[in-house]
Amino acid sequence: MTPLLAVRGIDKSFGPVKVLHNVEFSAYAGEVTALVGDNGAGKSTLVKCIGGIYPIDAGEIAFDGKPVHIHTPRDAGELGIEIVYQDLALCDNLDIVQNMFLGRERRNGLLLDEDSMEELAEKTLSSLSVRTVKSIRQQVSSLSGGQRQTVAIAKAVLWNSKVVILDEPTAALGVAQTAQVLELVRRLADTGLAVVLISHNMNDVFAVSDRIAALYLGRMAAQVRTSDVTHAQVVELITAGRSGELGLKNGVTP
C-alpha cells in the first residue's frame, strides 16, 4: 500500500544541534498512525517540518506517491495536511462557527455568509457524529476541554483535509472526554483520512492506532503495526530506541 504521506531521510538541525537524523515516516489513508517518543525525541519538530513551519535540511516529503515541496503552512494546507496543535489556537470570545471559519470566512458580496458557514459547520460536526455541543453558536469559552478538542479537529477537517495530525489531543482530558476524542480520532480514519496521533499515552495508542512510529533521540527507532507489538515493546522502543524481541528489518516489522 502506498502511503499518503511519506517522509524520507529528513535531517533537521537548529544551529549546531541536530534534532532529526535521517527520519523515515509514513502515514496511510484510512489509518491512525501513532507517533510516539520521549520528551525531546523530535515529534513536534518532525510534525512542524511536515506542516511547513520548519524548513528541512535534507530529505524529501512525498504526498500520494509524488515528491512535494512544503515551504509554508499554506503549502501544507493546499495539499490537505492540517495540524491540530496542543494549544488548539481557538479564540475564546468567538463562537464555534466563527472559530471554524476563522481567517477563511465565506462572504456573500461584502457581508459574511453566516447561513452557509453555519450549514457547513453543522454538516461537518454531524458527519463526525459530534453531538456533544449544544449549539454551534455557543462561545468557545463555554466549552469543556473535550468539546474544544472536538471543535479544533472539526475545524481541521472542514477544509477537505487528507492528512490530519493531532498533537496530544487527550493530554488535558479526563477519562470520559478522552474516550470521546479517541472515538472521533478513529472515525476520522474510518472516513478515509490519514490520521497521525502524537501521544505519550500507551492506552490511547493501543486503543486507536493501526501503526506505531517510535522516535528515539531524533531517529526513527521503528515503524510497526500495532497488532504486532506489546505495550512493553513500545515502551522499550521509546526509552531505549530498540526492542530486542521485535526482529525488525531496517526499523520496520517484516
- Closer Cβ to ligand ATP, 97 or 198, answer by number: 198
**Is there binding between residue 169 and ligand ATP (CB under 6 A)?**
no
CA–CA separation, 130 and 123 (whole Å): 10
Q: Considering only residues 183-202, where is the footprint of ligand ATP by CB under 6 A?
A: none
- Closer Cβ to ligand ATP, 40 or 67, answer by number: 40
42, 52, 80, 241: which one contacts ligand ATP (CB under 6 A)? 42
Q: How many residues does the chain have?
A: 254
For residue 15, give Cα distances in angstroms to 4, 19, 49, 198: 31, 10, 16, 25
43, 148, 162, 211: which one contacts ligand ATP (CB under 6 A)? 43
14, 93, 249, 250: which one contacts ligand ATP (CB under 6 A)? 14
**Is there binding between residue 19 and ligand ATP (CB under 6 A)?**
yes
37, 52, 169, 241: which one contacts ligand ATP (CB under 6 A)? 37
Phi first, then psi: give them for residue 161, nearest 5 degrees: -70, 155
CA angle 14, 205, 243 (to 5 degrees): 70
39, 93, 160, 250: which one contacts ligand ATP (CB under 6 A)? 39
Phi first, then psi: give them for residue 155, nearest 5 degrees: -60, -40
Query: How many CB atoms lie under 10 A from the CB of residue 14?
Result: 9
- Closer Cβ to ligand ATP, 140 or 197, answer by number: 197
Q: How far is the CB of 30 from ligand ATP (least distance, A)?
A: 26
- Closer Cβ to ligand ATP, 4 or 20, answer by number: 20
User: Strand 32-37 to strand 194-198: parallel, antiparallel, or no bridges (unpaired)?
Assistant: parallel
Q: Which parts of the chain fold into alpha helices (H)?
A: 43-50, 73-79, 96-100, 114-127, 145-157, 175-190, 202-208, 231-240
Residues touching ligand ATP, count (CB under 6 A) = 11
**Is there binding between residue 45 and ligand ATP (CB under 6 A)?**
yes
Q: Considering only residues 108-147, where is the footprint of ligand ATP by CB under 6 A?
A: none
CA–CA separation, 135 and 94 (whole Å): 13
- Closer Cβ to ligand ATP, 146 or 218, answer by number: 218
Q: Which stretch binds ligand ATP (CB under 6 A): 43-51, 76-84, 131-139, 231-239?
A: 43-51
Phi first, then psi: give them for residue 27, nearest 5 degrees: -130, 140
Which residues, at least 6 apart from 78, have a Cβ–Cβ distance to it below 8 Å? none
Q: Which stretch binds ligand ATP (CB under 6 A): 13-21, 74-82, 133-141, 227-235?
A: 13-21
**Is there binding between residue 16 and ligand ATP (CB under 6 A)?**
no
Structure-block grid coordinates of residue 67 = 515528491
Give residues in contact with ligand ATP (CB under 6 A): 14, 17, 19, 37, 39-45
